[in-house]
């Protein structure tokens, strides 16, 4: 029978702070304390092994889901009843991408849902570790490589490009400059005979009032 009790926490994690993004002025009083910035709290986040590099997290925490191509370490992790995508990146990039995804979600654009940014990570020797951006796994979605590994219709590639084009137009109309348009930076959901595309990597993007013609052309090219 599955137990709903919280696992035992690392004593050092008890010093962590969970801070809502709406109140950025709050800062941890301990420079080496773990800091989880999130719009809502999830107690199970504090039970994860943040003191370990993401690539070394135990297998029993990981969800066996297809991953796309990434320049960073990415893992899918069980957190209670949810599955979160964890990406290990520098603090500045993680915080910027988290806030950008939040803004895109408020505009009701098709993106993955940002959950948290985890900073102030150190290993047991006190050495600093990179931050982790946490997003919610989009159920039933697949990266394009996983789709091509299946026995799909010959026109699958064309339908994926169409979905990517629709996503790019919607993002441009909202003032989002992508900067790195790629099939690797989106997830796809099947929608009858077509696909819907969702932005999963906003690391190089920027939300502006108006895009220049050059920015639009750069994304299209």
171-205 burial, b if ≥16 CB within 10 A, otherwise e? bbeeebbbeebebebbbbbeeeeebebbbbbbbeb
Could you list the mean pLDDT of each consecutive 10-residue stretch along the chain, which spans 221 residues?
Answer: 50 48 41 83 90 97 86 94 96 96 96 96 96 96 83 79 93 91 89 88 89 79 65
pLDDT in tens, 162-187: 999 999 999 999 999 988 888 888 99
pTM equals 0.82
> What pLDDT is recorded for position 216?
80
- Distances from the Cα of 4 to the Cα of 55, 59, 81, angstroms: 26, 19, 10
> What pLDDT is recorded for position 30?
47
> What pLDDT is recorded for position 198?
96
Residue 23 lies in a domain: yes
- Burial (CB < 10 A; 0-12, 13-18, 19+), residue 77, is buried
Q: Which of 136, 170, 194 is the last residue of a domain?
A: 136
> What pLDDT is recorded for position 144?
86
> What pLDDT is recorded for position 151?
61
Distance of CA 114 to the CA centre of its chain: 6
**3-state class (DSSP) for residue 214:** helix
Residue 4 lies in a domain: no
Same domain flag for 95 and 167: no
Domains identified in the chain, total number = 2
């Amino acid at each position: 029978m599955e137990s709903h009790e919280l696992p035992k926490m690392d004593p050092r994690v008890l010093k962590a702070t969970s801070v809502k993004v709406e109140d950025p002025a709050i800062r941890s009083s301990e420079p080496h304390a773990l800091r989880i910035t999130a719009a809502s709290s999830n107690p199970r986040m504090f039970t994860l092994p943040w003191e370990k590099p993401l690539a070394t997290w135990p297998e029993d925490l990981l969800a066996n889901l297809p991953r796309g191509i990434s320049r960073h370490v990415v893992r899918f992790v069980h957190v209670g009843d949810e599955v979160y995508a964890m990406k290990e990146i520098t603090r500045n990039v993680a915080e910027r991408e988290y806030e950008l995804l939040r803004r895109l979600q408020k505009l009701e654009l098709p993106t993955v849902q940002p959950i948290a940014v985890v900073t102030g990570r150190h290993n047991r020797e006190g050495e600093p570790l990179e931050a982790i951006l946490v997003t919610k796994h989009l159920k039933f979605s697949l990266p394009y490589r996983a789709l091509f590994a299946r026995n799909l219709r010959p026109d699958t590639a064309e339908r994926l490009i169409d979905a990517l084009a629709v996503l790019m137009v919607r993002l441009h109309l909202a003032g989002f400059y992508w900067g790195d348009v790629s099939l690797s930076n989106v997830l796809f959901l099947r929608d009858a005979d077509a696909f819907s595309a969702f932005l999963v990597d906003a690391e190089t993007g920027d939300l502006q009032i108006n895009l220049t013609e050059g920015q639009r052309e750069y994304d299209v090219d």
